[in-house]
Amino acid sequence: MNLDPRMGRLILELRQGGVTDARVLGVIEKLPRSIFLAGPFKDRWDENLALPIGYHQTVSQPLIVGLMTQALEVSDRHKVLEIGTGSGYQAAVLAPLCRRLYTIERHPALLREAEERLRELKLTNITAVCGDGAAGWPEQAPFERILVAAAAPDVPPVLFEQLAIGGIMIVPIGLDENDQRLTKVVRTEDGAETEDLGPTRFVPFVDGVVAG
């Protein structure tokens, strides 16, 4: 099957932006981003931009999705927690790479739409719930990987406690949209090791709930 030239350009842009993991690029390449968009934005699926999905939320920029997924180092042995389902795009990238994905979204309407898209894609290893993402999912903890799609003032302690020893969390840190850093957190026997992955921009935690 020949690659859509528009997708080819997007994949090239992701490679140039630092996404080099072939597994991550392969999933993004096969995923029809247009189904996660609405109205006039549907035909802009190949733009490397965050685009509106309603409720003051966006579908993330493909480059950021690729970089976050790559940094998470997901394998098919891992149980993953995603905070902020949003449109379901990031979940659809993660699901083919992991054993099981648990995802939390605070907006019921967004979650319903995301679940419909994920069913349409026949992704059967995803469990989704509407709720307080800041509380995580203690009943299913620990998780080998946690991805947070909202900015926190620091490493979220509740989510960190739900991360397995040796596990990885990717989280934007900093509530000022102009001074946020994408951060990789590895839980060790003695605490945490962090790595700055560069600038980013996400909506913040809102009233104790994580925005999707």
52-102 pLDDT, tens digit per residue, is: 887 778 888 999 999 999 999 999 999 999 999 999 999 999 999 999 999
Number of Cβ within 10 Å of residue 44's Cβ equals 12
- CA nearest neighbour of 93 among 174, 171, 175, 27: 27
Q: What is the pLDDT of residue 177?
A: 73
**Position 47, amino acid:** E
Residue 157 confidence (pLDDT): 96
Per-residue pLDDT of the chain (212 residues; tens, 9 = 90+): 567 899 999 999 999 999 999 999 999 999 999 999 988 899 999 999 988 887 778 888 999 999 999 999 999 999 999 999 999 999 999 999 999 999 999 999 999 999 999 999 999 999 999 999 999 999 999 999 999 998 999 999 999 999 999 999 999 999 887 889 999 999 999 999 999 999 998 888 764 443 33
Helix 5-16 vs helix 22-30: crossing angle, to nearest 10 = 150
**What pLDDT, on the 0 to 100 scale, is given for residue 82?**
98
- Residue 138: alpha-carbon gap to chain centroid: 19
Q: What's the structural domain count of the chain? A: 1
Residue 211 lies in a domain: no
Asked whether residue 106 is domain-assigned, the answer is: yes
| Residue 207 falls inside a structural domain | no
- Alpha carbons within 13 A on the beta-carbon side of 25: 17
Instruction: Tell me the C-alpha distance between 68 and 19, whole Å.
Output: 9
Q: Which residues contact 115 (CB under 8 A, 6 or more apart)?
A: 88, 128
- The pLDDT of residue 133 is 93
CB 114 within 8 A of CB 101: no
Mention every residue, 6+ apart, whose C-beta is less than 8 A from residue 6: 45, 46
Q: Kindly state whether residue 57 falls inside one of the protein's structural domains.
A: yes
What residue numbers bound the domain in which 127 lies?
A: 5-200
Q: What is the CATH number of the domain that holds 151?
A: 3.40.50.150
Q: Is the residue at 190 inside a domain?
A: yes
- Give the catalytic positions in this structure: 60
- Residue 2: the pLDDT is 63
At position 136, the amino acid (one-letter code) is G
Residue 97 lies in a domain: yes
Residue 127 lies in a domain: yes
Omega before 157 within 30 of 0, i.e. cis: no
Integer Cα distance of 172 and 212 in angstroms: 13
